[in-house]
Structure 1
Amino acid sequence: EWEKVRSQRAVRLSIARNSFYWFFHLYMGHYIKYPTAEFQKQMMSDVTNPDIEQLVIVAFRESGKSTIITTALPLWAAIGQMQKKYIVIVSQTQNQEQQHLANIVQELETNDLIRKDFWPYDYEENEMGVSAITLPRLGVRIIAVSREQGVRGLRHGPHRPDLIIADDVEDSRTVKTREGRDRNFAWFTGELLPLGSDNTKFITVGNLLHEDSLLMRLRAGMESGAPREGTRRRIRLRAPLRGRAA
C-alpha cells in the first residue's frame, strides 16, 4: 500500500502537500532509522503552523533538527501548504551554508521522487560565494548565506524572503563572552529580522550553548511579549533525550 502511494504522482503529491510529516516519510524516508519521536513530530507540526510567525528550536545533537528543518523543510515549503517563494537558509560560516545547500542538491540529484516532482532546477554561486537553487517550475528560489557574507538586501524578483531558517548561527566561541552574545543578538535583530516582511516565517534552530545565548534571549523575548520579538510567537524547548528519526 505504501509503495502504491509512492508510485502514483498525483496521490503522493496530494498527501505530501497537506502534511510535512507525510512529505518527509514519502520523500525522505531514507533518513529515518528509528521510529519518529514525539518531539520530532511536534517539531514538524510547529514549523508548519501558520499561526507561529517565529519559532525557536533548542535541540540536542543528533536530534535530526538540520535534516528536518534545513534539508527537508525548504523543499516542502516549495510545494506544500506554505507556498513559499524565497527561502533563505542562514548559517554562521560559509562552509556551513554551502553544506546546507549541497544537502538539498544531493536530494535533487539522487532522490528519484524528488527528481520527478521538483525538476528542473538551476544551481548557481556568485562571486561572493553565495549559493542558490532555483526551481523554475515552482517559481521558488532557495538561497544559503552566512553571517560572514552578510544578509542585507536579499530579493527574488518581487519577493522578499518569506521563509528564513537560521541554523547554528552562533557557536561556543561567540557565546563565551557577554560582548560576543550581545553581537549575536544585535546581528539577529538588526540584520536578519529586517529581511522579512509581514508574511515571513522565521525559524531559528540550534543547540543550547549558554543560558544567555541568542536562542535563550529570543525565548525570553517571546515569553515576555517584547515588541518585534514576541508577537504571536512560540518556542520549542529541548526535547527529552530519547528516540530519534534521522
Structure 2
Amino acid sequence: MNQKTKRKVESIFSKYPPEVIELGLAKLTQERREFAEQIDSRKTVRARVLQNFREFLKEYFGHYFSCEFGTQQNELIRDVHKFANKKNRSPIKLVRALSRGFGKSTILSLCAVLWLILRGDWSFVIMISSTLESAKDFLRKIVEEVEDNQKLIDDFPELNPAIDRKGQKVSWKDTDIVFRGGARIIAKGFLNAIRGKRNKQHRPSALIIDDPDEEKDVVSESTMRRKYRWFDRAAMKLGSGWGIDVLMSYTTIAPNCVGEVVFADDDKYPADEGWDKKKFKAIETDSNGKEYSTWEEGAPLAQLLKEREQDPITFAREKQNEVLAEVDQRFKGLIERYHFPPTDSWKGWRLTLGVDLSLGKNEKSDLSAIVGTARSPEGKIFEIFSDIQRRRPDKIADDLIIALTLFPWEVCGIEETGNQEHFHFLIRDRIKEYNKTHEDKILVPIVPVESGGDKEKRVTGALQPLVATKLLVLRDDSKILYKDLDEYPYFGKDGPDALEFSVRLQRTGTVSTRSKESIEAARAAKPKKLADIRGNRMKSMGIDPDLYPGK
C-alpha cells in the first residue's frame, strides 16, 4: 500500500469509532472466508461429478429425471463410464437398441456428451441423426442447457461460448458450437458430407448416432443401401489412426434399419474390433414367467400392457425392439437351410443358373447376382450356388465364366431388358475365347430371361409356395441370399430375383420320366440327313422309300 492510499484509508477510519471499524473488518473477513469455502465446496462438487456420471446427472439435470431410474437407464450410466479415460484404452463402439420414451437421447446425446467433454475424454464430437434437422435438435438442446442451466455454467465456465480476438463468438449455432474450453460439437444428418472435419489440429474423437432412420427411409431399398455405404465408408473412416469412439442408440423400427443391420452383422461389426451390442425391452419376464416393467417408476406395467393391447406391432418394435415381419414379408421365418452338398452325384438332377444383372459403371450401382439351383429326381429344389456383389459388367462376365465351370448346368438364364441385351453378346464372346484355350469346354446353353412387370409380385408368387412347403431350400452358408430372402423386400432384391430366374428355368422345358441318358441316346439316334428324315416319314405312312427314290 503506497503512502497516498494509506492516508486515504486512515482518513476513512478516523470518521468511525474503533468498535465500529472492528465489527466491519470482522464481517468482511467472514464474508471472504465464506466465499472461499463456497469456492472450495464447488470445486469438490466438480471433482466428484466428473468422477461419477450418475452424480453429474443428479447435480445438474434433475429437472429431466423426476423418478428413479430403471434397468435401461442404470445400464446406460454404466455404459457411459466405459468411454472414460480415452487415453488409456482402445476405441469403443457401443450399439444399444433402447425402448422409445425411456430417456435414451437425454442421457446419451445430451448429458453423456457434456460429461465426457468436461472430463477431457472427447474434444470433437459429431452428432448424427436420420436428418440434419433431427441432429440440429439434439445440438439445440445442448445449447439451451448451457445457456439456461446457471448451476452448470457456474461450476463449468468452460462451457461458455468461445470468444475470438474481436470479441465475437467463434461458432455458436445449431449446426456447430465451440466451447471456451476448446471442445467442439457439430450436427450432421445421414448422407451429409463429414470427411475432413477437424477441430483445430484434432480429428473427431466421437460419433454420437441417435435414431439414424425415419419411417420413410426403411421402405426404400436404394436409400438404405446408400445409408449403409455412407456409414461404412464415411462415418467409420473418421478419426485418427488410433480410431474413433462410436455411440449408437436406436429403436427397431424395421428389420433393415441401420441400427438393426449393425446389430445383426457380427461379421462386419465383430466384438473383437470393439463392437459392444445389446438390446433392451420395456417388458421382461422373470424366472416364474411373470411380466414386469424394466422402468416401473416411469413406465408402469399397467400402462405398457395397455399400449401393447392397443397396437401390438408398434409396441413390439418400439418398446421391445423385436424384429417383426412386415405384412408383405412372405418368407420371414419360413426358409429351410441345408448343409451342402445335397447329393454325392448329380446324376438324374437338373441344374440351372440364373443371373440378375447390374450394369452400372461404378461401385454405387446395384448388386448383381448369380444364383444356381439343383432339382432332385424327387422334385425338391436346392440352392447350390450364389454370388451376390457390386461389380462392373466385365467382372460379372468373368465371375459368370467361373460359375459355369463349377457344376454341370443344363441351362443358364440371363436377365434381358432393353438396355442389357449387349451383355448376352459379351458373355457369348467370353465363352468362345474361353473354349479356345481350355479343354473343359463350356457347352451350357445361354438363354434370355424376361424380367419385366412387378418384381416383388413375381418373386413372391414363384418362390413363396416352394419355400413354405420346404420344396426350395438354401445352403446354410449362403448368408447374403438368406438375409435378402428372409427380409424380402426390405433388403437386397437382386439375389431373390436371380433365384427366381433359376427356379423358373427348372420349371420350363420338356418333363419326362425317362432318364437323362436314355433321352440323350434317343437324340443321338435321330436321323441327321434330310433323305433319312424323308425315308422315315414315308415308312410311317406304310410306303417303301426304295420304290420312290428322290421323293
Structure 1 and Structure 2 fold alike (TM over 0.5): yes
| Equivalent residue letter for 1:132 | D
Matched residue, 2:177:
133
Compute the displacement of 1:125 (Å): 6.0
Q: Larger radius of gyration, structure 1 or 2?
A: 2
Matched residue, 2:52:
19
Compute the displacement of 1:236 (Å): 2.5
Compute the displacement of 1:202 (Å): 0.3
| Equivalent residue letter for 1:91 | S
Compute the displacement of 1:52 (Å): 6.7
User: 2:72, 2:112 → 1: CA distance?
Assistant: 16
1:104-126 CA-partner distances (Å, limit 9, x unpaired): 11111111221113332246368
Matched residue, 1:113:
151
| Equivalent residue letter for 2:222 | E
User: 1:111, 1:175 → 2: CA distance?
Assistant: 38
Among 93, 99, 102, which residue is 2:137 paired with? 99
Higher relative contact order (CA 8 A, sep 6+): 1
Compute the displacement of 1:65 (Å): 0.7
User: What TM-score comes out, normalization by structure 2 length?
Assistant: 0.40
Compute the displacement of 1:228 (Å): 7.4
1:57 alignment partner, SS class: strand
User: What TM-score comes out, normalization by structure 1 length?
Assistant: 0.85
2:248 alignment partner, SS class: strand
Structure 2 residue 76 is the aligned partner of structure 1 residue 56: no
Compute the displacement of 1:175 (Å): 1.2
Compute the displacement of 1:87 (Å): 1.1
Contact 1:85 1:139 in 2 (8 A): yes
Among 115, 118, 131, which residue is 1:79 paired with? 118
Structure 2 residue 234 is the aligned partner of structure 1 residue 188: no
| Equivalent residue letter for 2:211 | D
User: 1:141, 1:13 → 2: CA distance?
Assistant: 21
Pairing of 1:1-246 with structure 2 (within 5 A): 8-50=41-83, 53-80=92-119, 83-119=121-157, 120-122=160-162, 124=171, 131-136=175-180, 138-147=181-190, 149-197=192-240, 198-221=242-265, 224-226=266-268, 231-241=273-283, 242=293, 243=295
- Change in CA separation of 1:150 and 1:92 when aligned onto 2, cut-off 3 Å: farther
User: 2:203, 2:298 → 1: CA distance?
Assistant: 33
Compute the displacement of 1:183 (Å): 2.1
1:113 alignment partner, SS class: helix
1:150-177 CA-partner distances (Å, limit 9, x unpaired): 2221100111111110111211111124
Contact 1:52 1:234 in 2 (8 A): no
Provide the alpha-carbon RMSD of the alignment: 2.7
1:72-105 CA-partner distances (Å, limit 9, x unpaired): 111101123x621111111222221221111011
User: 1:174, 1:94 → 2: CA distance?
Assistant: 14
- Change in CA separation of 1:25 and 1:236 when aligned onto 2, cut-off 3 Å: farther
| Equivalent residue letter for 1:202 | V
2:198 alignment partner, SS class: coil
User: 2:227, 2:272 → 1: CA distance?
Assistant: 18
Question: Alignment identity in percent?
Answer: 23
User: 2:134, 2:244 → 1: CA distance?
Assistant: 23
User: 2:223, 2:270 → 1: CA distance?
Assistant: 22
Contact 1:161 1:200 in 2 (8 A): yes
Contact 1:91 1:97 in 2 (8 A): yes
User: 1:227, 1:108 → 2: CA distance?
Assistant: 35
1:175-217 CA-partner distances (Å, limit 9, x unpaired): 1243333222111111111112324210111111112321122
| Equivalent residue letter for 1:121 | P
User: 2:97, 2:239 → 1: CA distance?
Assistant: 22
5+ residue gaps, structure 2, are 1-37, 84-89, 163-168, 284-292, 300-551
| Equivalent residue letter for 2:258 | L
1:173 alignment partner, SS class: helix
Contact 2:191 2:227 in 1 (8 A): no
Contact 1:90 1:167 in 2 (8 A): yes
User: 2:247, 2:263 → 1: CA distance?
Assistant: 12
Contact 2:91 2:243 in 1 (8 A): no
